[in-house]
Copies of this chain bind each other. A is one copy, B any other.
Amino acid sequence: MTEMLGGPFFSVAGAGESHGPGITTIVFGCPPGLEISRDRVQTFLDRRRPGGNKHGTPRNEKDKVVFLSGLYQTDHEALLGPSTISVNVDGNTFETEAYERGFTTGEPIAALVLSTSKKSGDYTQFIGPSGQVRPGHTDLVKYHKSQGYVDIRGGGRSSYRATISDVVGGSIARQFLETTFQTVLISSINQVGELKSKGSLAEQCQALYDRFRRDDAPTIIPPDAIADLQQTIDNAEIPSVDPDFAEQAGELIKETRKEGDSLGASVEVVALNVPSLLGDPLYQSLKARLMGALGGLNAVQSCEIGSGKAVVSRRGSANNDPIRSSGYVGNTHGGLIGGMTTGMPLICEVGFKPTSTINKPQQSVSKNLTEIDFELEKGRHDPCVGVRAGVTLESRLAIELMNAALSQRSQSLADGLPSIFG
């Protein structure tokens, strides 16, 4: 089945396995005229890549992206190079320059990230019907689903490496959102194992909203204020609004790695300066889509909007956000009512399971179901996958928001987009 992120307006197709030649991405539906530069997209990929921080997997991929279509500008010097791409086939080499900076043309944008730090030898214990199955991984289901025709190296297509496409597509979407609406995406870890942060990103974003709240125009939090918040997060040991928690969590991750074990994590992701009224109602509501896009990410077991599961124990009189002419008072609804945006910060939280790859002995089977005592022979891994998940969550949120914005635009008979407040 065809499968993409987002759509049908703005969508992202991806291809590529953990240890294959590379990750290919095609981005559809970006309107013409948006300026895209390779180095800005690279910035987001750098946040995602393994080896990019001290608590991730030691696999060191540079993840350099090249753009191959969908951009243009008349100044070819600025458009092309210095990056190049070449193939050698049947003894002949073909080389050409790639795109560095240009404007979108409305045509599909292709991007390629090669995978060059691969150690396939690590995975010999998993080959064939007598190959071993790693508990918690897709090894068993994918082997049987593909009737044996599965790429067993490093999780194949189910690897976190596939999220390169999310980030490439998300980088374009966030550029669109920021240019058009000043919308900004941000994320923070608020729990690692049993360790919880003090305060939350949701609270800090709500405080920002309240600080700049106005009733004569839609509330816009200034870029500087958001940049300050982002700086706090970037400065922490792991990305979090609470530096003390981040310090302790970093320590815990280090310890757990030594023990050969892994840790779950909970990550908040928020969109600020979201235009109101985005999102189609009901089956394709923005709520349904975000639950699917964020909750559907590898290793995620829970997804919450606004106050999330905490609303279950509340009464309606405490949970309903009162409304004033400057907007909602409080944000238990998390920026979505009826699956459409209210203009309040859009707040989501996902729970990641502890990384399935651990070094401790476990009960398992071979692919043909012979019972074995399993122990990982080799392999590099993240002890806490949540640590570098933020940029992927932001990307998926951006892709869905952009799609909703284009949908909303198509449905407005009058010029311009309607809004609620101000």
Contact = CB atoms under 8 A, between A and B. Distances in A.
A337 B332 CA distance: 31
Contacts of A115: 96
Given A85-B86, A108-B15, A317-B362, A291 B303 contact: yes
Interface in A270-293: 276-277, 280-285, 287-289, 291-293
Interface in A147-202: 147-151, 156-158, 162, 180, 191, 193-194
Given A68-B24, A107-B15, A363 B323 contact: yes
Interface in A58-78: 62, 64-70, 72, 74, 76
Contacts of A413: 31-34, 147, 180
A313 B419 contact: no
A268 to B, nearest CB: 12
A68 B89 CA distance: 13
A7 to B, nearest CB: 5
A421 interface: yes
Interface in A331-355: 332-334, 337-342, 351-355
A223 interface: no
B146 A325 contact: no
A222 interface: no
Contact of A317 (B261, B314, B415): B261
Nearest to A370: B325
A114 B94 contact: yes
